[in-house]
């Protein structure tokens, strides 16, 4: 009898994220019915051409995700079908990972399911009309990073995640920044953990060199180096955020961003060290987006969703807060 109950409980645990991932993909695909007609013409530009180094310089260092799409095509699918399979696998893995992360903090299946629905709702909402393969993988990378921070995982976890992230794009710099943040301890006076600082510094230098190499700046002296994104967009983004986005379809995203930052600022005084580190990652993401992203392309905020949501949950759930 106990075995049957345990089996049923495990079956429910597996079935919930599976069903939610299927519905999430359906919603995503329905949202992009129009763009899916045009996208097959562009898929080669952000898969094969990136692998061959023939894409725009801001994309060409984002190797891992295009390789995974092309790897699926080696089974015998065309590139368009392979990309759709890649996205389906993302929704499945992302839902499973998030769900089991939340249940690992001893939250109920019901509460974990509700958080998973909210998580997938935010992800589908922030895809806008553009989506690239590296965006999907970055969401999982920063979901794992957030969990590693809250669970105080060993350094090796972060180093392996950094290597994966560095192959997927320049956002790996944020993992290096996390180590630099972690190296500073304040207990009546500032104490520097030199090991964490030098790990972060080595990661930072490695990420910059890898980006410079893939973008062709090391082999060519004719190009002006741009390590992140296409160009410096800070002033344009601030202008758009303050004067334009409140009066167009981006109103929802602007309101969400303001509310969540006010919420974190309100609770900052009671943050524990893990939450402060996670909040530091969130702020670093926000700065990166405003400096080098195009905030009208709401997909640039996607990789912030798992960090923001896990921080929100950690504030509201005592079980997660007290967990090591």
pLDDT attached to residue 2: 60
Q: pLDDT of 49-95, one tens digit each?
A: 887 777 777 788 888 999 999 999 999 888 888 988 999 999 999 99
Are 215 and 60 in contact, with CB atoms under 8 Å apart?
A: yes
Domain residue limits at 175: 2-322
Q: Which 8-state DSSP code applies to residue 225?
A: P
How many percent of the chain have pLDDT more than 90?
48
Q: Does residue 281 carry a pLDDT above 70?
A: yes
Q: pLDDT of 60-72, one tens digit each?
A: 888 899 999 999 9
* Beta pairing partners, 191: 185
Three-state DSSP state, 187: strand
Q: pLDDT of 97-115, one tens digit each?
A: 999 999 998 888 889 999 9
Summary mean pLDDT of the chain: 85
Beta strands 184-187; 189-192: pairing state: antiparallel
Average pLDDT for residues 122-136, to the nearest whole number? Answer: 85
- The string over 74-109, giving b where at least 16 C-beta atoms fall within 10 Å of a residue's C-beta and e elsewhere, is eeeeebeebbbebbeebbbbbbbbbbebbbebebee
pLDDT attached to residue 322: 58
pLDDT attached to residue 108: 86
Are 137 and 307 in contact, with CB atoms under 8 Å apart?
A: no
User: How many domains are contained in the chain?
Assistant: 1
Q: How confident is the model at residue 123 (pLDDT cuts 50, 70, 90)?
A: very high
Q: Which of 314, 303, 271 is CA-nearest to residue 147?
A: 314
pLDDT attached to residue 147: 97
In 45-78, where does DSSP find H-type helix? 48-51, 64-73
pLDDT attached to residue 79: 86
């Amino acid at each position: 009898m106990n075995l049957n109950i345990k089996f049923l409980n495990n079956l429910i645990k597996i079935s919930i994220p599976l069903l939610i991932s299927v519905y999430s993909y359906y919603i995503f695909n329905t949202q992009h019915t129009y763009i899916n007609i045009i996208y097959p013409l562009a898929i080669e530009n952000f898969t094969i051409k990136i692998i061959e180094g023939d894409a725009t310089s801001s994309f060409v260092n984002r190797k891992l995700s295009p390789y995974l799409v092309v790897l699926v095509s080696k089974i015998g699918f065309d590139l368009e079908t392979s990309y759709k399979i890649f996205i389906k696998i993302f929704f499945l893995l992302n839902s499973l990972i998030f769900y089991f992360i939340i249940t690992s903090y001893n939250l109920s299946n019901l509460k974990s399911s509700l958080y998973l629905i909210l998580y997938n709702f935010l992800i589908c909402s922030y895809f806008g009309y553009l989506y690239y393969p590296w965006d999907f993988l970055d969401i999982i990378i920063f979901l794992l990073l957030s969990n590693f921070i809250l669970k105080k995982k060993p350094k090796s976890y972060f180093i392996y995640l950094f290597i994966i992230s560095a192959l997927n794009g320049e956002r790996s710099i944020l993992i290096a920044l996390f180590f630099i943040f972690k190296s500073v301890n304040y207990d009546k006076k500032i104490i520097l953990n030199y090991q964490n600082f030098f790990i972060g510094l080595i990661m930072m230098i490695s990420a910059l060199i890898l980006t410079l190499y893939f973008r062709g700046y090391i082999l060519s002296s004719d190009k002006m180096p741009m390590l992140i994104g296409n160009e410096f967009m800070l002033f344009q983004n601030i202008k758009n955020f303050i004067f334009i986005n409140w009066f167009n379809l981006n109103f929802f995203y602007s309101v969400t961003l303001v509310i969540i930052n006010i919420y974190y600022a309100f609770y900052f005084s009671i943050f524990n060290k893990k939450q402060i580190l996670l909040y530091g990652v969130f702020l670093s993401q926000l700065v990166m987006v405003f400096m080098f992203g195009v905030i009208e392309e709401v997909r640039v905020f996607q990789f912030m969703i798992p960090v923001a949501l896990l921080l929100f949950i950690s504030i509201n759930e005592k079980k997660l807060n007290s967990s090591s």
